Amino acid sequence: MQDSPRGSASAKLAEFLAQANQNIALAREQNIQFTPALLRENLNKLAAFMTCKPDVSYIADRAWQLGDRAIPARVYSPDPHSALPVVVHFHGGGHMCGSVELYDPICRQLASTAHCVVISVEYRLAPEHPYPAGLEDCEHALRHYAEVLEDVAFITGPCIMGDSAGGAICTSLSERSLAEPSLAIRKQILIYPSVDYTMTSASYESNGAGFLLETPRVKWYFEQYFQYTALDAEKVRAASPLHGRIEAGLPETLIFTAGCDPLRDEGRAYAEALQRVGVKVEHHGLEDMIHAYMLLHDLVAEECLSTYQRIARFIHAP
């Protein structure tokens, strides 16, 4: 295992992390157990740090009908009458938290800064809907993205984007596209992605406590998602994009990693693996940021805006 030094967080995050660590310690002291409701509520509290919500001229709630159920989505366009690139967006949250509503400020900022159409997908969440339910929803959304754009001009050939678990969804769909070229993905954008469900990267040890996302919580997320036992270790490995097919046919990739993140090393390893097989990769390591920094816009606005600007250049590059 490679040496994996512990990250050093930005002073901008010091007060936030002190409060978060105090809350984590208190919960541990009181033996408060993880539940889906508790973790969803805690993630939703980060909405308080995303008060920047740019106006976007077109925002509409849409859905794909799939048998007796719907897959909801929210569509954003800064100029619905001009043909713009499309980004299909999959939110993060450990495959069991997060929502289109929580990520609304991020999708507004993305549509505004990158001057693109954004389709934010409300996929099914674990543990109510374990693997691969959410992934299947996202594949359907990607294959049929144009169906929710009847009022919006767009350029054919979508990019996909996701943070954390959303990054896992992106990389899983990109891997599927190797065998199924009809799953056409122009580019993928990954923000502190989860790409290795085996949790064997050294940064789970070096960055696994004190930086908001802690190793025990990641493990619990994955247990809810896969509902696995020790006997399922090989299945979990097989579902991990880092251990899957990494070949030259994968989409051009933009990846951001955070230096104070337990997922840091697997994100770096994925970027390096793509580069080795000749996939065009642009990797940015924000060494003093933590996992989920994009949900903390008010605290680290400069870093967030820089991330959006890099995404904009990547989307519009030929």
Determine which one of 89, 91, 95, 291 is catalytic.
291
Has 95 been annotated as catalytic? no
* Number of other residues whose CB lies within 10 A of the CB of residue 278: 11
| Helices and strands in the chain, H and E counts | 10, 8
Has 151 been annotated as catalytic? no
Task: Give first-to-last CA distance, the chain, whole Å.
Answer: 38
Pairing outcome for strands 117-121 and 86-90: parallel
Which amino acid does the sequence have at 29?
A: E
CA neighbor of 209 nearest in space, from 153, 143, 291, 279: 291
Determine which one of 10, 77, 99, 164 is catalytic.
164
Q: CA 135 → CA 26, 44, 118, 229, distances in Å?
A: 35, 22, 18, 21
The residues, ordered by sequence, that sit 6+ positions from 314 with a Cβ below 8 Å of its Cβ are: 187, 189, 254, 282
CA neighbor of 201 nearest in space, from 50, 66, 2: 2
Determine which one of 104, 137, 163, 261 is catalytic.
261
Q: Would you state the structure tokens that stand for residue 137, as one six-digit string?
A: 């929803």
Q: Would you state the structure tokens that stand for residue 148, as one six-digit string?
A: 């929710």
Has 265 been annotated as catalytic? no
Catalytic residues: 164, 261, 291
